[in-house]
Homo-oligomer: A and B are copies of this chain.
Amino acid sequence: MKAEYINPFISSTSNVFKTMVGIEPIKGDVYVKKANERMAYDVSGVIGLAGQASGSIVISLPTKLALKIVEGFLGEKKTEIDDDVTDAVGEILNMIAGGAKQIFSQIGLSFKISIPNVIVGRDHMITKHSTINCLGVKFKVGDQIFVIEAALKDK
């Protein structure tokens, strides 16, 4: 994955949060995800990308932030991770992937988006194959952090 490929995911994330969630997260560090790096979160969404380029995009959040974000998205108070919350996390990630897809298509890189899966489980970790080059970016919302991790390789 070329380092600059993280940028469409960053701008799409900022845009979706601003317009659909009503929150402007503060972009933090971009990091290279290492195979044995074990960052643990409570709720994650995963979408595969496949076509001329293939890869995946992951959003991982702590429970408290997942509830806050889904409240912004749905406009109703949420106190536990139920189907509404997992559906909403999947939908938000789907929009982020869709926005990034648009930007990539402008530079001639095309892919299609699979359906999202949402993982719920305290302190789960998501790994890619150790040979896959994956970049992540931290976003801050108040005192909470979520991450977007993306891998995309040209065929």
Contacts and interface: CB of A to CB of B under 8 A. Distances in A.
Contacts of A90: 127-129
B48 A83 contact: no
Contacts of A105: none
Interface string A68-111: 00000000000000010011001100000000000000000001
A28 to B, nearest CB: 22
Contacts of A46: 46, 48, 117
Interface of A: 35-36, 40, 44, 46-51, 54-56, 58, 83, 86-87, 90-91, 111-130, 132, 151, 153
28 contacts: A35-B83, A44-B119, A46-B46, A46-B48, A47-B48, A48-B56, A48-B113, A50-B50, A50-B111, A51-B112, A54-B112, A54-B114, A55-B115, A56-B114, A56-B117, A86-B127, A87-B129, A90-B128, A90-B129, A91-B129, A114-B114, A115-B128, A116-B128, A117-B126, A119-B125, A120-B124, A120-B126, A121-B124
